[in-house]
Structure 1
Amino acid sequence: MILKTRQRYKSDNGLAYIKSGSGSPIVLIHGVGLRAEAWLNQVPLLSQQHTVYAVDMPGHGESDLLANRDAGLDEYVDAIATWIKNEINAPVIMMGHSMGSMIALNFAIRYSHICSGVAALNSVYRRTFQAKQAVQQRALEMVSNTAVDNVTTPILRWFSKHPRGFEKQMADLCEQWLLAAPATGYARAYQIFSQNDGPEDDALKGLEMPAIFITGDGDANSSGHMSQCMAELCPNGRYAVIENSRHMVQMTHPDEVNQLLAEFVQQCGTHIRSQA
């Protein structure tokens, strides 16, 4: 499947993004190695009543690398927060997938005054020792060897062993994006992803806004138990596990995910009105 690349806007600090619809703002952040089009199945629904901004993570798609070679998760979040303050200038509902969920949660915790809700898809929380070793080894290989295969292995983790039909189309798209991903941006982001293990418990306990955690029942590295643990720490948290899915739930199971996100957006609106 070939998907036409959507036209981007470019911010003063080098972030590229797609903008659709009108209404209160929603910001979408993709995972490592991908691009804003990873939300292709959510943008049409969400933009019916909202202005939806799908962002290319720094060093991905058409977004510039951060100038600081040693930038960590906070610096990625700060770049997006600066863009939100300058471009949107209003509280946003933040949604992120995989590393994008790390960014979304960090943003919600550190910039809660401009975040009215957070959705974290396929997010990690307290990896096992073995999982930490595996992800950090993959990150080390990416940084030290530009010839390492950064396409085949992720596709095998993210999708069924022999995807067919619609799932095969989505897997083919992800393969195209991974092949085209800027090597340096991909490697730097994956290194940050490997070094982070989810928000601190106290930070989740202090997250007063609505929060939803969604993952696939076949995603061993971002398990349903992880999502449940984070949701139960949040005062207004909930979680959902999509059956017969793996890491790319928003792409492979859009109907189930979109229903959950639509309900969540309504919850955010109710929460905002109750706080007024």
Structure 2
Amino acid sequence: MAEPSFPGRARAPVALRGGALRGEIGYLRTGSGSPVVLIHGVGMNAEIWAPQIAALAAHHDVIAMDMPGHGGSLLPPADATLDDYADAVIGLLDALGLPQAALVGHSMGALVATHTALSHPARVSRLVAMNAVYCRPEAVKIAVRERAAELEEKGFSASIAPTMERWFGDPVPAHLVDVAAIASRALRTVDAEGYRRTYWLFATSDEAFADTLHTLAMPALFYTAEFDPNSSPAMSRQMAERAPQGRAEVLADARHMMALTHPDAVNASLIAFLNEADAGVQKLEPIKP
């Protein structure tokens, strides 16, 4: 697999938590058309979306952001909440003069995207929550919180090998060695404190939407992998059942990092969902940065 090339990285000023914390959000932007914001998972950065950026840019204005604490973005607060991460998404839209965008989030990014859609429905045209967590079963809840506790006890570097094993297997199959290297590089270069703060929030936020998902105002695709035990098909189906315009899709024979390992199938689903006609949607004027 050839090393991917990326459009130029840029940064936009944003404020978190009502302006109390100010800094920059890093992002990649390319393409033209209706805007789509891609939000990665814990430990990754905007570049992990390379296959999706390439596919979506033909018909969309694609913005792949670095979550707070990752890539070129500011650290989240020590006591960060999902509101802080949603503030980063809305702050980026404001800085780019975009009144509305579709959001595509993966894993922790799916939590951020869903929270943003629930908190700022006028700013989100469509939602894709990929490999999302929702009301984890007790055994899964215990396991993810134990991993969060190990981060505090053993430090970030000790988590890299078991994370890669969960995502890709051990040994990594030969046909996945190149894409696994992309994820490994992201994990090895992420800010350790940004990772720690974000992972703890990820570990404790799976019930964040249990009482509000029925208010989701836009079409939503809850999309996961057949062999993702921590972001299971059952979770995506539950979310789809609760969202008024929700639907679930499960990618066969895939695991958590399916956007990297199965890009053609993932891209086809994203393009089909994002390109559906939205009858009666009001055209919004651009925001002045």
TM-score grouping bracket, smaller chain normalisation: over 0.9
1:274 to 276, 280, 289: 280
SS in 1 for 2:96: helix
1:156 to 150, 165, 168: 165
Number of the residue aligned with 1:205: 214
1:11 and 2:12 correspond = yes
CA separation in 2, counterparts of 1:29 and 1:40?
A: 12
Do the aligned partners of 1:33 and 1:60 also contact (CA within 8 Å) in 2?
A: yes
Q: Given the superposition, is the C-alpha separation of residues 204 and 4 from structure 1 closer, same or farther in structure 2, using an over 3 Å criterion?
A: same
TM-score (norm 1): 0.93
CA separation in 2, counterparts of 1:178 and 1:158?
A: 12
CA separation in 2, counterparts of 1:145 and 1:28?
A: 31
Number of the residue aligned with 2:146: 137
Matches within 5 A, 1:22-101: 22-66=32-76, 68-101=77-110
Do the aligned partners of 2:66 and 2:73 also contact (CA within 8 Å) in 1?
A: yes
Deviation at 1:148, TM superposition (A): 4.7
CA separation in 2, counterparts of 1:188 and 1:41?
A: 28
Deviation at 1:202, TM superposition (A): 4.0
Matches within 5 A, 1:247-266: 247-266=256-275
Do the aligned partners of 2:135 and 2:210 also contact (CA within 8 Å) in 1?
A: no
TM-score (norm 2): 0.89
Deviations along 1:154-205, whole A, 9 cap, x unmatched? Answer: 1111123433344221111111111111111111110110011144244221
Number of the residue aligned with 2:19: none
Do the aligned partners of 2:107 and 2:131 also contact (CA within 8 Å) in 1?
A: yes
For structure 2, the 5+ residue unaligned runs are 15-23, 283-289
Deviation at 1:255, TM superposition (A): 1.1
CA separation in 2, counterparts of 1:16 and 1:46?
A: 19
SS in 1 for 2:164: helix
Deviation at 1:123, TM superposition (A): 0.4
SS in 2 for 1:123: coil
CA separation in 1, counterparts of 2:195 and 2:89?
A: 17
SS in 2 for 1:42: helix
Give % identity: 37
SS in 2 for 1:41: helix
Do the aligned partners of 1:27 and 1:95 also contact (CA within 8 Å) in 2?
A: yes
Do the aligned partners of 2:225 and 2:256 also contact (CA within 8 Å) in 1?
A: yes
**Amino acid across the alignment from 1:37:** E
Do the aligned partners of 2:13 and 2:95 also contact (CA within 8 Å) in 1?
A: no
Deviation at 1:45, TM superposition (A): 1.3
Deviations along 1:65-94, whole A, 9 cap, x unmatched? Answer: 13x321212111112212212223321000
Do the aligned partners of 1:24 and 1:51 also contact (CA within 8 Å) in 2?
A: yes
**Amino acid across the alignment from 1:20:** T
What count of residue pairs does the alignment treat as equivalent?
A: 272
Do the aligned partners of 1:143 and 1:188 also contact (CA within 8 Å) in 2?
A: no
CA separation in 2, counterparts of 1:37 and 1:49?
A: 19
CA separation in 2, counterparts of 1:258 and 1:40?
A: 11
Deviations along 1:37-85, whole A, 9 cap, x unmatched? Answer: 111111111111111000011111111213x321212111112212212
CA separation in 2, counterparts of 1:147 and 1:53?
A: 28
SS in 2 for 1:40: helix
Do the aligned partners of 1:26 and 1:52 also contact (CA within 8 Å) in 2?
A: yes
1:238 to 230, 244, 247: 247
**Amino acid across the alignment from 2:10:** Y
